[in-house]
Every structure is written in C-alpha cells, then in structure tokens.
Structure 1
C-alpha cells in the first residue's frame, strides 16, 4: 500500500524526515526513491555542519551528489557545541573540513543558489579547520551567479572574514544581490564602519533592495556608499542598536539627507535594545532619517543615576516622523513617567501608523477610552486592538468592563478584533 501512495503525498511526508531517514527511505522501493528525487524536496536545504557531514553519514557525498542540482536555498548551520556528548566533542575537529567538502561537491555540480543563509556560526569557533571552511565558502560564493539573498545573521566573524565572503559574492553576483543581512556578522568588538574595503564593497551593490546591519557597521561613509550604489533600488534599511553600541560614533544629519534624496523610497527601521536614556538616543532620531519602524526594548537594568526621559524620545518620534512612521513598539516595563498624553498625540499625528505596541504603565484608564474613541471616529485604522492589563484592582476592572461594553459593537462593525484581557500588561494595535 505504501508504495502506491502518490508521489506528491510521499514528497510531503519526506519533508518532515531527517536527512538520515530520507536517505534510508530512498532504499525502500523504487517509488519511494523516485519521490525522494523530486526537485521540490531539495529546493530548500538545511545542513547542520557538525551533525550532517560527520562520521557514518557523510551528507556531502550522498545527498549533494544526488540532488544538489535542485538546490536554490541553502542554510549552513552549526548546532550549539554543548548539546553534544563529551566524547563526540573530542573528535569534532573534522567537522569544518566536512563542511568544506560539502561545499566543494555542490560547486563541482555547478549548483546555483538564490539564497544562502549562515546560522549560528558563532559556535563554529569551537571546532578546528574553521579557516579552511571560510576559505572554501568564499571560493564557492565566487562561482555563484544568481544569488539574491545573503544572510550572515549572528555569524560573529572577524572583519577580514566577512569582507572576504562579501567580496566573493559581489564579484560574482553583485548585480543580482537584493537582500543582505549583516546583523551580528562582525564580532561584537569590531566596528567596520570606516573600513575602506567595506565601504568600497557596499558601493558596488547596485541591485540592493534591503540591507540589515548593526550600528557599528553604519556611518556617514556607509550612507554615502549606499547612495552612490543603489539610488533607485534601496527600499529598506534595518538598523540594530545595542547598549554596547551606544555613543560609539555619530552620523551627521546631512548624510541621512543625502541618502534620502538619492533613495526617495527608502524606509529605515530601528531596533534598539537595552538603551533607555534620552542622551543615548537622540543622535539616532535625526530629522532626515526616513523612519518607518521604531522598536525599543529598554531592558530590565537601568542606570538610576540618569533620567531616562522617555517623554523626549517619544516627542522626537512625533516631531520628525509624522509622515513616515508606520510601526512603533515600546517595551518600557516599570517605567513611571507619564506618557498617556504622548500616546494619544502619536496616534493622532502619525497618519501612517498601522501598528502600536506599548508595554508600560497607563496612569489613567480614560486614556484607553480615548484611544478607543479615536478608532471609533475612524481617525486610526487598526484591525486589532488587544489590551492585556496587569495588577487590575476591582475599581479598574469595572472601568475596563465599561470600556469593553461601550466599544464592542462599534469595533465589531469596523471589523476590529477588540479584546480586553488579563495579565501581561501589553497594549497592541494593528
């Protein structure tokens, strides 16, 4: 009966098997082997280097040889070293070499990828032959002609290694590369923003549509390189800022202005982690930044010797970005500043706002009533309003029930998912 299942059904089943089980399944019968060879099954492949290319199951020699020509998306990952038994770790120096052999095999088969993702390469430093693997990876990338997406997310490599990978990619397919993710690509203490080779490489990305990077990889020179490379193409710039990046260097408003002129459709996204104080924030929120998304995770450890002054931070959002701001997330747990009035102003003045998530304290529940009335008057156009209050007293519960009763009907008429729940203290508007 199993050998009579349609090939499409078998293919869907095989998608959920491990690589080892897939190979064994192909040995069951002719129909299973034929289903295993379906190109749909091998369009997207994930290889865990220190697991899939080891010992008795050399994935590089068995799967890549048979099905490598179908690959279009490849994820090269490392598992966390400490999840492996001690006796396995002792013999793992050969794993990077096995990963290099895998890349050599698919290069010999002239595999042309559209997407390459490196995952958890921060853990690769635990194994030997890492340099050989990186060299082989750069050599493989030099043979790619159709690559559109390259992600080095959290690779934690040295500047020279990242630039070698990036240089090989740009040399072979720089005119096709549209998505580049460099967040966490460089080791934390490395700041490549002024590296001449780095800036030259960015200046050659003529087809780039979306770029994601950390603040240490951003500078006025970076913005100038992007402006000269892809003035009509660049649409999205994701910037991640962490506490260790705070006040490392600043970028002039003029540089943002020039980039905005060169890339008129550009939208900037900030993700800010563990930075709470206005003096560490204001230099990011310059008037010429075409800010579309602002996410702030304030963390749980704050310097109590300085005022956080969230009011001024939100004030800058309202002052500079009323025409561009579409998404705001403020995680300000245990903040005691009065922000109710600024939340209302944000909703009224930022006409492009489609999502607001506020994790913080409302001083007055009438603020929530006013927010609901703004939606009822169609001054905002959210599709979901979820309120999850925390530490609600009997009196406040009565107020919340009254708000729910007052606005349930009008929200239903507008097709809004409107709920007032318990716990978690999060206001979400979509």
Structure 2
C-alpha cells in the first residue's frame, strides 16, 4: 500500500493526470509544494524523460479543473488538449495537458509527413526525431559511434587523409562544388563526412542498376538525394517478368505486382521481357492470362514507349489453355502491336498458336508497318521460332509470305523450318521494292536469318537452292544460322543443308542409339565442308558411342577458314584435344574459343582426367585471347 502511495505521489508531482479505480488517488493532490518545485528544477536540468513534459503556470491557468480523485476521465470526449494514450488496460494514461507535444521545444508547424535528412548519416527522419538524433554532441549518434570505433581500430590516419583529399578536391572544383551544394541541399561539411554524398547522379544510377526491386524500394527512402536519383527514367527502362500462375504466401500475386509496376514506372518502360512457365492446370493458365492482359492494358493506357517486346514459352497448344483464354491473350497482344508505335524488336518464340490466331497476329503486325508514314519506326528484329503449333503445316499457307513482304525494315529474322518455302524466300527478296518509302529504307537488307529445325515439326518440304542463291545475292551481308534438333535422317538433312545457303553458324544436337543404324560421318565429310568459307560458329553434341569421329572432326576444323568458336560434345580420344590446340596455334588464328566435353562410358574417369592434365601441362603459355575449356564427362 505504501508503494502504491509513493507511485501516486510521483505521478502527481510530475503534472500528469491519470485515471485510477483505487481510492488511494484521493491523497495524490496533498503533496508538499516544495517537493513539487524541487522536482520541476530537476526536470529542467536533466531534460525530458519519456512521456513526461512539464506544464508551465500559464498553461494551467486557462485549463478546466482536473477531475477529482476516483473519477474516470474519457480522453476521447475531453475538450482539453492531450497527447498521451493508455499503454494497456491496466497501465496509467499520460495526457500531456498544457504542453506543445512530446518534446522539450516548440513543435514544428511543418507538414506532419515532411522529413529532413541527417547531414552526417543521410537518414530521412521527421523534424522532432532529427533533434533527438543530433542531441548533445552536435552530430548524429550513429556517426559518433562510428567515429569512436574507427579511432579504437586505428583508422584515424586514413580518415584524415580522406578528409584532406576531399578538401583538395573542393578547392580545385571551386564554383562547381558550390552549385552542386545548392542543388542537392547539402553543405560542404556534409560532403566531407559522407562518401556517398560526393557521388554524382551518373555513378549512383550505375550502382542502382544492380539492385533488385526490393532493394530499390528501400534505397529510395534513404534521403531526398537518393529518392531523386531513383526516379531517373534510365533505371526503369528494362523489366523482366516471370509468370507461372502459382500463388505464394510471401509475395503479392503476379497480377498485382505487374499492374503496380506498370502504374508506377510504365511511362519509362522501353524493353519488356515476359517469360512464362508453361502451366499444367486451367486455374494457373487463368492467372497467367490475367497477369499478362492486366500488364498490357495498363501499358497501353499509359502509352508506354516500348521499343522491345518479348513473350516466350506461352505454349498455347496445351490443353489447360481454353479457347476463351487463348482468344483473350491474342486480342490483347493485337492491341499492343497496333498501338505501340516505337516497336523495333518483337520476340514471340514458342507461343504455339493455331493457324488462325497466328495469321491474325501477323496481320496486325504487317498492318502496323504499312499504316503509318515513313517517319515511324520499323520492326528490325522479329523472332518467331515455334510461333505456330507443331501440327500446323505453315509452308502450305500463302498468307505468311505476303505478310512478311510488308516488313520492309527487317534485318534480323528467326523462324522455324516448318515455315520455310520458296514463296517466303521470294517475299524476302522483293520486300524492299515498291511502296511509299524513302531512299534510306530501300537499302535495308536482311542480315541475319535464323532457322530452327526440330524433329517434332514439319521439315520434309523441299526448298530450291536457287531461291537461297537469289536471296544471298540480294542481301550480300546475309548470315544464316541453322539449329538442328534430333534429326538423324541423312536424306532430310541433305534437303535442309543446301550448298547455296551462306551458313555462318551451325548447331546440331543428335542423340541416337547404336541400333538405329545412323552415322554422323556424311554431315562431317559431305555437308558441312560446303560452308568452309562462311562457317564461323560450330557446335556439335553427338552420342557416337559406337563410332569414332576424331579424324573427321579434326579435318573439318582444318577446312573451315573463318572458324571463330568451336564446341564439341562427343565420345573422343584425349589426344584429339591436343590436335585441336595445335591447329589453333599453327593454322587458325581466328579460333579464339574452344570448348570440348569428352563423354565417357566408364564409371571412373580418373585415368582419363590424369591423361588430359598431363597433356595440357605442356601448353602452359596459351594466347591471352584464347578461351579454352576441356573436361571428361560421364555419359548417362
């Protein structure tokens, strides 16, 4: 009981009014006057404690009388100003009647959400918190503690030299530094204490480019300087989305995050890449459709200055995509293609459209190119590998070549081999003729033509070599890149790899069983040597476990005059690596990248690895421009 009486006396002496249910509160107002005055003097000397503010005599004159002991106070309806709230249902309330707020000085009349930057550690804090942050020492508590730690560690000499360099740089720059100080709102003393304050906007933007979205959100609230730099358009010109249609408890839905990003930074977006994890269920497909359509609708509303658009791995031929979802995605994409006036690069790989939907998309694309006058940007790069479903025979449809004819500014084209026909090659030859074009557009020719040939797509059509020869004569800088997946039929490969094609890059992946009766020797001996004057990049991944191709590979590398990169994954002898290095050092100076993976059927590859290490020990000083890699890899 006596302890409770003493607690009540202390609360009454500090000028704090609270509510009590116990009858002991009636004696709280009978404390001696001299004890109250002494405690007020101690508060003036020691500063303000947490939640206690002294009330002046002038404030207490015009206030209404305090409630009598035992009477409950309702602070929501009490007309007197108060700032304290109850900590819990059993703790005392601390209304600060007659004070200007929970601080020892007059409260700022500034906006409540206005923040100020600490000149030492660059933290963004409210005005009252900033005073506490700098109380006593004239500098912030964080900077004071860091200085003490640095002094204990013996780094004072480095700090003095750093400050001296800053002073010298300020004397050299002169008026330029004063202009930067006025613009950023920081004085010269502030710059001396922080290295980040000395960095210009260009350096900060370069650093912020490596941050994730979460780190960027944290960095833009550090100070006004960083907030201004974080709003630079160059930081938000590229965006990558990965949609899978799966829900997560740790982050927002894909629709909410995509739409929120588009609303905040869509006006700056120039390059957009969307990669979809092919859904397996209709519910996941519906979420992916909502995220993509919501993103595109918001970008269309904001008129985003898109220059590059990439949507890959949709695979609309899956059963989880209903007809309504496919139509919604295609219609949304058509609206984007028609309204995006600055698009120069489009990537729709592995979209797997039906014939009708694919024709609609290509029609919208071709109409957007001929709809506007020549000052409009033309599409220069178009990637349509796997654009149509694998069951569609695109080469039999005559609409595809006619639509390609309108793409007059095209310089880079990627297609599946199922779209190849003589009509298509003829349309690519004559696409620069006729029409309302300026003279600069007439000189644009096709430079890169990539073909992807897979066993799952139609590839048996016959294309004449004369059509390739005519296209090569019309486009003198044309480079053809061919990729072959699992086609192990020699006759079909002979129809694809015609001698008239100016092949600059060839990639082949062929896994075949010994009982299939196929060999890779015709490709290495008869077909690829036709491109010895144009082939620059060669990659072969073969499962030749029953045949030796070391001699053929070495002879092919010797014949290719312009070979720059070589990648071989096959069953080879370890001595073949030494032969390839010898060819590079003596004959092929342009061959600056060699990667060899030697397959092995044995479980233990220690003996082969020791042999390879002993062989390469004699080549200690290789040319610095040569990138060489060799490894023994167990074949599974």
Q: TM-score w.r.t. structure 2 length?
A: 0.57
Question: For the residues of structure 2 that align with 1:282 and 1:45, how far apart are their CA atoms?
Answer: 42
**Which of 27, 30, 37 is the equivalent residue of 2:231?**
37
1:3-402 equivalent positions in 2, closer than 5 A: 3=123, 9=204, 12=207, 16-18=211-213, 34-48=228-242, 50=245, 57=256, 59-60=258-259, 62-81=260-279, 90=283, 93=286, 96-97=289-290, 99-122=292-315, 126=321, 129-173=325-369, 176-229=378-431, 232-245=444-457, 247-299=459-511, 301-302=512-513, 304-305=515-516, 307-362=517-572, 365-389=574-598, 390=600, 391=602, 400=612
**Against the structure 1 CA distance between its residues 393 and 224, is the aligned structure 2 distance closer, same or farther, given a 3 Å change threshold?**
same
Question: For the residues of structure 2 that align with 1:371 and 1:345, how far apart are their CA atoms?
Answer: 10
Question: For the residues of structure 2 that align with 1:56 and 1:375, how far apart are their CA atoms?
Answer: 53
Q: How many residues align?
A: 413
Whether the 8 Å CA contact 1:216–1:245 is kept in 2: the answer is yes
Question: For the residues of structure 1 that align with 2:560 and 2:223, how far apart are their CA atoms?
Answer: 62
**Distance apart, 1:92 and its partner CA:** 7.1
Between 190-199 and 284-293, the greater mean CA deviation after superposition: 190-199
2:15 alignment partner in structure 1: none
**Distance apart, 1:245 and its partner CA:** 3.1
Question: For the residues of structure 2 that align with 1:419 and 1:14, how far apart are their CA atoms?
Answer: 32
Q: TM-score w.r.t. structure 1 length?
A: 0.82
1:46-70 CA distances to partner (integer Å, 9 max, x unpaired)? 345657995993643x433332211
What SS class does the counterpart of residue 379 from structure 2 fall into?
coil
Between 381-390 and 35-44, the greater mean CA deviation after superposition: 381-390
1:74-114 CA distances to partner (integer Å, 9 max, x unpaired)? 223434436xxx9xx75974663454343233223222211
**Against the structure 1 CA distance between its residues 335 and 210, is the aligned structure 2 distance closer, same or farther, given a 3 Å change threshold?**
farther
1:7-53 CA distances to partner (integer Å, 9 max, x unpaired)? 7648855864458x867987888666545532123201234565799
**Distance apart, 1:375 and its partner CA:** 2.4
Whether the 8 Å CA contact 1:210–1:237 is kept in 2: the answer is yes
Whether the 8 Å CA contact 1:53–1:99 is kept in 2: the answer is no
**Distance apart, 1:119 and its partner CA:** 2.5
Whether the 8 Å CA contact 1:146–1:173 is kept in 2: the answer is no
Question: For the residues of structure 2 that align with 1:91 and 1:226, how far apart are their CA atoms?
Answer: 39
Whether the 8 Å CA contact 1:147–1:177 is kept in 2: the answer is yes
What SS class does the counterpart of residue 587 from structure 2 fall into?
coil
**Distance apart, 1:213 and its partner CA:** 1.1
**Distance apart, 1:279 and its partner CA:** 2.4
**Against the structure 1 CA distance between its residues 269 and 38, is the aligned structure 2 distance closer, same or farther, given a 3 Å change threshold?**
same
Question: For the residues of structure 1 that align with 2:255 and 2:547, how far apart are their CA atoms?
Answer: 61
**Against the structure 1 CA distance between its residues 39 and 232, is the aligned structure 2 distance closer, same or farther, given a 3 Å change threshold?**
closer
Question: For the residues of structure 1 that align with 2:285 and 2:521, how far apart are their CA atoms?
Answer: 53
Higher relative contact order (CA 8 A, sep 6+): 1
1:360-409 CA distances to partner (integer Å, 9 max, x unpaired)? 223x5554443333223234433344555445888866764554344x14
Whether the 8 Å CA contact 2:297–2:332 is kept in 1: the answer is yes
**Distance apart, 1:424 and its partner CA:** 5.5
**Structure 1 portions without partners, runs of 5+:** 426-430
Q: From the CA coordinates, give the structure whose radius of gyration is larger.
A: 2
What SS class does the counterpart of residue 339 from structure 2 fall into?
coil
Question: For the residues of structure 1 that align with 2:212 and 2:606, how far apart are their CA atoms?
Answer: 52
**Distance apart, 1:236 and its partner CA:** 0.9
Q: Superposition RMSD on alpha carbons, in Å?
A: 3.6
Whether the 8 Å CA contact 1:220–1:251 is kept in 2: the answer is yes
Between 6-15 and 316-325, the greater mean CA deviation after superposition: 6-15
Between 241-250 and 216-225, the greater mean CA deviation after superposition: 241-250
Whether the 8 Å CA contact 1:53–1:98 is kept in 2: the answer is no
1:193-249 CA distances to partner (integer Å, 9 max, x unpaired)? 232221111111111111111111111111111111258421111111111236531
**Against the structure 1 CA distance between its residues 71 and 316, is the aligned structure 2 distance closer, same or farther, given a 3 Å change threshold?**
same
1:128-150 CA distances to partner (integer Å, 9 max, x unpaired)? 64422321221121112221100
**Distance apart, 1:309 and its partner CA:** 2.6
1:323-342 CA distances to partner (integer Å, 9 max, x unpaired)? 11111111112343332222
Question: For the residues of structure 2 that align with 1:56 and 1:178, how far apart are their CA atoms?
Answer: 31
